[in-house]
Amino acid sequence: MKSWFDTEFIEDGKTIDLLSIGIVREDGQEYYAVSRDADLSKASDWVKENVLSKMSFDGAKPRHQIREEVEKFLRADGTKPEIWGYYADYDWVVLCQLFGRMIDLPKGFPMYCRDVKQLCAEVGNPTLPKQGIGEHHALFDANWTKEAWAFCEERRRIRKESDDLLRKILWILARQSDTTTLQIPEADLVKIPDEAELMTWKEQLFDAVMIKAICKPINQPEISRRVHGEDKKP
């Protein structure tokens, strides 16, 4: 099951100390916990102003309890979790360290985190939806990470559909072209090319299509009417 998470933490360049964690599963369930074991004396001014000011330590939990609850939450359906973050390098470390060393991760847990920022880059780095409220609150941030993921996935779906349509168009044009001018075996034109196949012959196909378009007679009835403006309504 997919889950999107965020953490807030105190770090000094050597250690990362968990303050809070928020997780949202794809079934809509949420988890949020604040650690009572964090050393707040090491918090920077920025953390005090932007993170601690938005947190309540009422009901804060020890790390061992958070660890048990996080594992249970992420494995609720019995499948291997697929975990997503946003700029998640430090978040992933602080999550993994709930369990100790990397090799101490629960059996079946992934040993890497998927990053929405990388997904965003793959689809052209579009401007992501604005979060609005709750920035630097772990649960609000986790919900926004899920929203950003959905936004990028939609962009990827649209791009794939566009690429598929382009391949179909080029395939049709190739079949209509004089195959003797193309260094493409006719057998390869029987089916729509996949992305790798298209890359191997797209340049010569574009050349052939352009030559065909430039050399196309202009005395066809439809073109002639347009040239002379005869298709204009009175």
Q: What is the pLDDT of residue 120?
A: 95
Mean pLDDT score, 127-142: 93
Q: 140-159 pLDDT, tens per residue?
A: 999 999 999 999 999 888 87
Q: 181 pLDDT exceeds 60?
A: no
SS3 227: helix
Average pLDDT, the chain: 82
Q: What is the DSSP string of 110-131?
A: -SS-EEHHHHHHHTT-PPPPP-
Q: Is the pLDDT of residue 217 over 80?
A: no
* Contact call for residues 131 and 116 (beta carbons, < 8 A): no
Residue 212: pLDDT over 70: no
Which domains, and CATH codes, for the chain? 2-154 (3.30.420.10), 177-224 (no CATH)
Span 71-93, mean pLDDT?
95
Section 115-119 average pLDDT: 97
User: pLDDT at position 195, please?
Assistant: 62
Q: Can you give the pTM of this predicted structure?
A: 0.73
Closest Cα partner for 189 from 211, 168, 165?
168
